[in-house]
Structure 1
Amino acid sequence: MSRLDETHDPARVSWVEGADGHPDFPIQNLPLGVFSLDDAPRGGVAIGDFILDLAALADSGLLSCEAQEAARAASGPELNALLEGGGAPRRALRRRISDLLSDPAQRERVEPMLHRTNDCRMHLPARIGDYTDFYVGIHHALNVGRLFRPDAPLLPNYKHVPIGYHGRASSVRPTDAPVIRPSGQLKAADADPIFAPSRRLDFELELGAWIGGGSGLGRPIPLAEAERHLAGLCLLNDWSARDIQAWEYQPLGPFLSKNFLTTVSPWVVTAEALEPYRTAPEPRPAGDPAPLPYLDDPTDRARGGFAIDLEVRISTRKMREEGIEDLVLSRSHARHMYWTVGQMIAHHASNGCDLRSGDLLGTGTLSAPTADGFGSLLELTRGGAEPLSLPNGETRAFLEDGDEIALSGRLSAPGFVNLGFGECRGRVVAG
């Protein structure tokens, strides 16, 4: 049965001003988020440069059955209740909203429920119980490995198991939260460690996967069912203090070098909106080991990937003062995932770990195989040895105070409208 419906129709247009042709949020997207004006946060749906108020919609009498239940579940300050309901209520709400926003006869009733995005404050879309960061970007793993282990850049387990570590949910923030430079223990060669602000602050270009529909403790999620637990995707920047990380990461991995902040784009591009952009993952190189049976499924092999172009831009304080536009540092793609989102979900639960609606999984840095697509400064500058030259004569080995990093993503597929995520942006400030 086709997972596509009228909401994906590229010919569908909206009466909302500026929605048609919008770079991120045309009517074919309709992502979910949480916003506020000067009052309580509540759920909303992005359409062009506006947000449709789901609390108002739930009280409007324009919905019924599952769509009404979904809007009511999304009327509070977090979307966990809606995500827990799984795909059916999200799909019903999406179809009804798409009808309302495309039917000019409904404009008079619906337009008062729209708020200009620029007048709103965005919040995290869900209460995050747990955040796990994976390491599925194989080119990033190879690049970093070559810096520290030139003869064996990939550890023996990489092509057998999706590597991940538990991050810190309390420090996940939506776009535009300040990136406060962290302090920690720094260790130079032939010197005792000191406690000081990080001198090697970095970004990481990632996708985030929101869990919808949890699993019970002791109950693995088969890969064939993993898609049912994916609520949607966002952009994710897992800021990294490379100097703190270098001293602390052995033997248990990252800690204070990562948990000071993770920035996400505030909109959940739902699994339903993602349907036209599903694609087969990149084939594994000849000679690579086949995944173990619990990480292998024909549907995941056929459509476990996503057609998402990714971009990183930088703006320094001096660039903004001189009126210089953001500089593109990197262009990559979601195809550079060695393990799929479905495999991440299945592996996470394979030992009986329970996943909960609102949990967040990061992919790890999604670098391309060539330097124009590297997803971190650690790679772009070869560990700081080859600083980047910026258009105004500045150079950067790692991020300085006042630097701003913006991630963006574009979903594209032949015959369908391009969709986006909105920006994932953060500016570094002194600690």
Structure 2
Amino acid sequence: MAILLACVRIFQQSMRNTLSPLLVFMAAEVTFSTSQKGMLLSAVAAGYFFTQVPGGALADRFGAKNVMTICLILSAFCIAAVPTAIEKFGVDGLWWTVALMGFVQGPLFPCSAVVLARWMPRQGPTGADEKAWGTSMLDIGVSLGSLAIIPVANSLAETLGWRNAFRGIGALSLGFTATWHVLASETPSRCWFISDDERAFLEKSIRVPPPAAKSSSSSSSSAGTSRFSSVVGVPFSVATHPGVWAVFFSHAAFNNGAYYITYWSPTYYADVLKLPNSEAKYHLMLPFVANLALTVSVPLLMRLTQSRGVTLLSSRKLFTCVGFVGAALGVVFIAQQRTRSPWASTALFAIANSFFGLAPSGFKSNYLDITEAYVGILSGYGNTFATVASWAGPKMVAFLLERFQSWDLVFKYVACVNLLAAAYYFRYAVIHPVERALDEKVD
């Protein structure tokens, strides 16, 4: 299931990132201003914003598999419809189509978190941290999708044209969706291909609270807090807990920085370093190779830290904070290399993006630590907050470039956000279900 979920992220990320490399090919026929590029690159996030929480709530209540299948199908149709949209409705049509794709992809992250929560046992006295391993698999999928789409999209555009590149990626995504629907199961009890022993172990090891458990803390809530909980789906004390917001802020900072590299790197190599597409694609791939290499090594690094006696909370903080600080140190010096060989810039992009492969194994795993009863909806809120950063980030970059004409300022902005997130997470991160801790405090 972790591998299947990683494949979901491969195709989701591929569709999400298709526009970035193909925008360079499209610009040969359509004129885009810097502000329009920023608007288009933030379009996925504009749609993604609205369906995170509803998707998480649906997954918690009705199950995640069918929700994810529908999202993948609709997303594939959207990416395939891009050429028709821009031909008939221009740049506005392109924006609305990409935003709609983001809208239908919104539930995929919280639904994935719900599935992981129902398959990954908590860390035992001598066992590995399987929740961290599961979330690392999702991030491996993101890295593979981000890496694969660059040569695939460029090769398709060079041989078949950018229009057929969009259509081909949509067709491939539909093909995978059929495989997902046949093989995926929301819980071990519904899976037809695992052994009886594995099923028995997982059902014994994983605690999935019934819906009634979600209202356990309401008895100690005021009428106003109860109304608040009925609106947002979680108790006020849970929604405002600093440990929850440590995860939210980290997720937002990650999206702000990682998607900057994904979305704006093609423009940086074309406009600043003046590399042709045929050469730039190799530079664009290397940071994602570095990201993938470190992401794949995360389970080994986690076992190493565990063997050295590092506690689970310390491990979460270590991977998150080192990831953010390392990425900040990577990006902050990139603009100073623009007069040197392009490989100097690529090396720093690779360093930054490799550390972005480290941070999620801390804070994203934390989604499965901080709650048992609200995994889907808190994941939805967290990814919604992060989506705001994905939407605002490209616009901020476009603003800084148009207002100050300074890529150096852009890189420093990304670095500062990373450092602030690392400091907040280090101070407030927790690893216990906050609703249980709050109930015990009331008792």
For normalisation by structure 1, the TM-score amounts to 0.27
Bigger strand fraction: 1
TM-score calculated relative to the size of structure 2: 0.27
User: Which structure exhibits the higher relative contact order, with contacts defined as CA atoms closer than 8 Å and separated by 6 or more residues?
Assistant: 2
Identify the structure with the greater helix proportion.
2
